[in-house]
A = this chain, B = another copy of it.
Amino acid sequence: MNQDSPVDFSLQCPIPISDYPTVLLAHGGGGRLTQMLIERMFLPAFDNPVLENLHDGAVLDVEGARLAFSTDSFVISPLFFPGGDIGSLAVHGTLNDLAMCGARPLYLSAGLILEEGLPMEDLWRVVQSMQGAARRAGVPIVTGDTKVVDRGKGDGVFINTTGLGLIPPGIHVSPRRARPGDVVLINGAIAVHGMAVMSVREGLEFETALESDSASLHDLVARVLDIAGEQVHVLRDPTRGGVASALNEIAAQAQAGILLGEATIPIWEEVRGACEILGLDPLYVANEGKCLVIVAQEAAEAVLAVMRDHPLGQEAAIIGEIVEDHPGRVFMRSRIGGMRVVDMLSGEQLPRIC
């Protein structure tokens, strides 16, 4: 009765088994090994024109409407952290992926994988948190699914959220649209989410508690699009892998260079200090309430003003520009004037940060 023809296992695994006989944590870290999985295995296997766009989500034409469609699974540890939890994070994360396609989020789905033995009260906290985040954003969770796995085969709760959004006419956001002369902005200080989570894991203490920046960016993005429209070329939320990984992906896809000014990148002192203690480069640390906005030069000041006027953009800054030199690569001018390459991360910096 089964309509499947057997899978053709004669095709060779496109990841060299001698180098990578098994999946490593770094394959999920957002760095070079994640890229390898996507580029060598997933893209060729699932080959289709939409997937080729390599966006934070797919852009689909359905009955004349341009829809954004994006999925994300959340496996963060611990489930509850300063400033948020896996529930609100899962809602914000997918709302943000839709916003990064230039879309107004419309609907969310939620798929929960629970581990046997999870305290029922913890599930209730997570569900309330999802609901709160969805309600504040005005985007309903309209369909869901729950599975339970045996003790020791999961880790409390994993959540998949998938979202559907509508892209307004005249908006065309894509990493390929970055071009020399464009300006790179960010809406605030980097590395906050990653360091808030790491501070719990590592037992670090700060004078003031460091809270995750987890937030839904779709309202801020809508204002940016309202004022700059077509001149907004790229939107990207620098989550796992941080600002460095996101900009490297954009540089590669646009085949343009990106030049950052170290002194212009907003970072809080306690975050810088925590990164130094743990030996982490903040450029590679995850954000959950930040977006990179790449706009035509003539729109940059207006976009900066709109961002700073928004509660989630008060520390917004211009941090770099798209350049003709060294296409596909990211460079940074240091505080003392030297230049350094900002490369893709090779290994795994912060596992299970989202």
Contact = CB atoms under 8 A, between A and B. Distances in A.
Interface of A: 1-5, 7-9, 11, 13-15, 17, 20-29, 34, 37-38, 41-42, 45-46, 48, 50-51, 55, 57-58, 60, 62-65, 67, 69-75, 77, 83-85, 88, 106-107, 109-121, 123-125, 127-134, 136, 140-150, 152-155, 158, 160, 162, 164, 166, 188-189, 192, 211-216, 289, 311-312, 351-352
A53 to B, nearest CB: 9
A136 B5 CA distance: 9
A307 to B, nearest CB: 13
Contacts of A118: 22-23
B75 A147 contact: yes
B22 A211 contact: no
A58 B27 CA distance: 33
A9 B125 contact: yes
Given A73-B111, A75-B113, A158-B113, A140 B27 contact: no
A25 B150 contact: yes
B140 A48 contact: yes
Interface of A is mostly: mixed
Contacts of A111: 71-73, 111, 160, 162
A7 B129 contact: yes
Nearest to A49: B140
Contacts of A1: 188-189, 192, 211, 213, 215, 289, 312
A312 B3 contact: yes
A14 B121 CA distance: 9
Nearest to A33: B148
Contacts of A158: 113, 147, 149, 158
Contact of A73 (B17, B112, B134): B112
Contacts of A70: 109, 143
Contacts of A145: 71-73
B46 A131 contact: yes
A127 B62 contact: no
A211 to B, nearest CB: 5
Contacts of A115: 23
A149 B352 contact: yes
B106 A62 contact: yes
B107 A58 contact: yes
B84 A2 contact: yes
A166 B11 CA distance: 34
25 contacts: A1-B211, A1-B215, A2-B214, A4-B84, A4-B129, A7-B85, A15-B124, A17-B120, A23-B120, A41-B124, A42-B127, A45-B127, A46-B141, A50-B140, A51-B141, A58-B142, A60-B107, A62-B62, A63-B63, A69-B107, A70-B109, A72-B145, A73-B113, A73-B147, A154-B155
